[in-house]
Amino acid sequence: MDQPTAAAAHRSVPAAALLAALLTLATGCAPELGGSFGSPGGAGVRDPYFPRLGNGGYDVTHYALDLDVGPSAERLSGTAVITARATRDLSAFNLDLAGLDVQSVTVEGRPAAVNRAGTELTLRPARAVAAHLREGRTFRTVVRYSGSPLIVKDADGSEEGWLRTDDGAVALGEPTGSMAWFPGNHHPRDKAAYDVRITVPEGRTAVSNGEQVSRRTAAGRTTFHWRTREPMASYLATVAVGRYTVRRTTTGGGLPVVTAVEPSAARASAGALARIPEVLAWGEKRFGPYPFSSAGAIVGRPGDAGYALETQNRPFFPGPPDIDLLVHELAHQWFGDSVTPASWRDMWLNEGFATYAEWLWSEDHGGASAQEHFREAYADEANWAFPASDPPGPEDLSRPPVYGRGAMVVHRIRQVLDDDAAFFGIVRGWLSEHRHGNASTAEFTAYVEEKSGLDLTELWDTWLAGDGRPDMGPDGRGAAPR
Ligand code: TRP
Ligand code: ZN
């Protein structure tokens, strides 16, 4: 066939345009020739406490974060390569990011338009790229950003995000602080694998979750590469930069244990840290297999943060932990890190079980029994301020009912079953069913009822979700279930 002349090619345009218009009408999409494709993913996944946290329309599978940290850790410049799968056809999608300046964004290698409003970045890729963002397809977004990361103030006044320390910084993310140091889908429902590379001045150490892949020094700068293969919620991601002493050992079972300790805390934390393998072995006996490929701890100074956090693999402690706090944060590796709340309303599943783990540890090591802890918690007015499964607002998420009352709910289940083999079987079954996933309160109560064969409506209505303190009953164990 002859090559068409320019004039002929020109004449064919209206016909092609007509065809495209017809296609658009017929299929709702004409990706190459115009018309709209897909719909915006939207801001937020309707968390009851943080409606704009997380984003719809996609699921991140992997974050590659390349962070360059200046000498005082007050400035950060980063590249985030976010690999995600579209969960529907997308014309645009959002990332959460607080503070920091965005230099450039590409989606599938092409510049994308960016709109910024509060903590929402809306990315609108070029039309030809949007054609790739179909349900089920994986796409790659690259964000280059920099600036002085924010400290995020919680509703309850506590601080998270990028916390500066005397000689570095520590990133802590519960519940919404991780958006202060990398862009992403920051609702705990969207768990992903991570590769984090942190470049610091030579002489500083950078620690993160997972396992260290490499460490290279060139021209006075050291790059640490850490990898997390198991799914991780972003609030559990951390980076700690400082003059940490890093020690590597393994448990008797061969699990790598990496501790990073601020030298001023070395002496006072040595005893507790030496017990990590013992606590993990005890946890495995009670809760089933440890869910991750490494463990450890990061110990900073008391001024670094106002609380400890169960950062994945390697909880962070602002100063030497006592054994109860160590047990609490290591228990979170099962409860919270492996099985992660479906929404922040389900946080009692984290804190109730981590608190109950402290009671169990005490019971198993010659201290007060769980029953004694239960009675003490019952007597504490602070535990009854609101239902464990329904904190009134975000400022209440870390208040006593979520911890102490949550633990009482767990103990009530144990009392009602009156059979430790059955009780621990259900706990292990629950963990194994949702390993590396998310779970809600409704799923938990349904699971316990299904496995026990009991109708526990009364227990949930009074101990978990009711207002005020239920009757302890004549035997002092708690009122009998229906
Ligand atoms: N989850 C932490 C613990 O129990 C405590 C914590 C740290 C926290 N930051 C928070 C709880 C923010 C609620 C909100 O060890
Ligand atoms: Zn906790």
Residues 155 and 249 in one domain: yes
Q: Which two tokens stand for residue 41?
A: 């993913």
Q: Which ligand is nearest to the CA of 236?
A: 1
Among 175-179, 396-400, 476-480, which is the least confidently predicted range?
A: 476-480
Average pLDDT, the chain: 92
Please say if the pLDDT value at position 12 is more than 50: no
pLDDT over 90 for what percent of the chain? Answer: 88
Q: Whose CA is nearest to atom 1 of ligand 1?
A: 309
pLDDT confidence of 30, banded at 50, 70, 90?
very low
Please say if the pLDDT value at position 34 is more than 70: no
pLDDT given at position 477 = 77
Give the residue-averaged pLDDT of 444-470: 97
**Among the three residues 331, 364, 394, which one is the final residue of a domain in this structure?**
331
Please say if the pLDDT value at position 9 is more than 60: no
Q: Which ligand is nearest to the CA of 315?
A: 1
Does residue 60 line the site of ligand 1, with CB under 6 A? no
Taking the CA of residue 328 as reference, the ligand 1 atom at the shortest distance is 15
CA atoms within 13 A on the CB side of 176: 27
Residues 392 and 433 in one domain: yes
**Distance from Cα 335 to the centre of ligand 2, integer Å:** 9
Tell me whether residue 477 is in a domain. Answer: no
Phi, psi of 223 (to 5 degrees): -110, 120
**Distance from Cα 390 to the centre of ligand 2, integer Å:** 17
Give the residue-averaged pLDDT of 363-372: 98
Q: Whose CA is nearest to atom 9 of ligand 1?
A: 174
- Tally of domains within the chain: 2
pLDDT confidence of 43, banded at 50, 70, 90?
very high
Single-letter residue type at 161 = G
Q: Which ligand is nearest to the CA of 398?
A: 1
Tell me whether residue 478 is in a domain. Answer: no
CATH of the domain at 47: 2.60.40.1730
Residues 172 and 86 in one domain: yes
Residues 392 and 276 in one domain: no
Q: Which two tokens stand for residue 255?
A: 């699990």
Give the residue-averaged pLDDT of 155-173: 96
Does residue 398 line the site of ligand 1, with CB under 6 A? yes
Does residue 351 line the site of ligand 1, with CB under 6 A? yes
**Among the three residues 331, 360, 383, which one is the final residue of a domain in this structure?**
331
Does residue 337 line the site of ligand 1, with CB under 6 A? no
Give the residue-averaged pLDDT of 262-286: 98
Which residue from 163, 186, 309 has its CB within 8 A of the most atoms of ligand 1, so it is best to mutate? 309
Give the residue-averaged pLDDT of 295-316: 98
Residues 314 and 419 in one domain: no
Whole-prediction pTM: 0.92
Residues 324 and 363 in one domain: no
Task: Select from 48, 344, 67 the least CA-distant residue to 180.
Answer: 67
The set of residues, in sequence order, having a beta carbon less than 8 Å from that of 224 and lying 6+ positions away, is 197, 198, 199, 200, 205, 206, 207, 208, 212, 214, 215
Please say if the pLDDT value at position 13 is more than 60: no
Q: What is the pLDDT of residues 104-140, one digit of tens each?
A: 999 999 999 999 999 999 999 998 898 899 999 999 9
Residues 112 and 255 in one domain: yes
Does residue 255 line the site of ligand 1, with CB under 6 A? no
Residue 358 structural domain = 339-464
Give the residue-averaged pLDDT of 84-110: 97
CATH of the domain at 424: 1.10.390.10
DSSP for 42-108 reads -B----SS-TTSSBSSEEEEEEEEEEEE-TTS--EEEEEEEEEEESS-EEEEEEE--SSEEEEEEET
Does residue 175 line the site of ligand 1, with CB under 6 A? yes
